[in-house]
Amino acid sequence: MLHAIAPDNDRPFTDICRQHNWKRTVQRRAVFTYLCGNHDHPTVETVWRRVRDTLPDVSLDSVYRILDDFSSVGLIRRLEGAKVIRYDADTRPHEHFVCDRCGRMHDFACIEPEEVVAKCRDFGRVDSVELTVHGLCRDCLVARQ
């Protein structure tokens, strides 16, 4: 749950790298730092651009690999419900509203994941629950008028 970690706290980064046998690279640290406290649901390109502000030589490929590593161990969530893949540093159960015009994504909570899991047990094993609502955000609705 990176969204709750202070970006300047090195201890969680060190512990996570040790736990997953990852090298403590400056690239990995820069991506980790960017995601700490982040609530924006960035795309890989957004993460790459922001990380390049402090690490100009970081490659897009490196950022892809780091984000894949982070999402594969549940450190962040990979969101595929929008037009582009986004990443969420908040791994607690919650839902998303996506504006189909501008692509902005907002968090909200209203559904109990346990209720969804209970209703789906007849179909098989549920590994995760994700709800994405699509529509137009207020800004895009105003701009449309």
Instruction: Spell out the per-residue pLDDT of the chain, length 145, in tens.
Output: 676 777 777 889 999 999 999 999 999 999 999 998 788 899 999 999 999 999 999 999 999 999 999 999 999 999 986 678 999 999 888 889 999 998 889 998 877 878 888 888 889 998 877 888 899 999 999 987 7
Q: Please name the helix (run of DSSP H) or strand (run of DSSP E) that holds residue 113, with its range, or none.
A: helix 113-120
Contact 135, 100 (CB under 8 A): yes
Question: DSSP secondary structure string, 18-57?
Answer: HHHT----HHHHHHHHHHTT--S--BHHHHHHHHHTT-TT
**For residue 111, how many other CB atoms are within 10 A of its CB?**
13
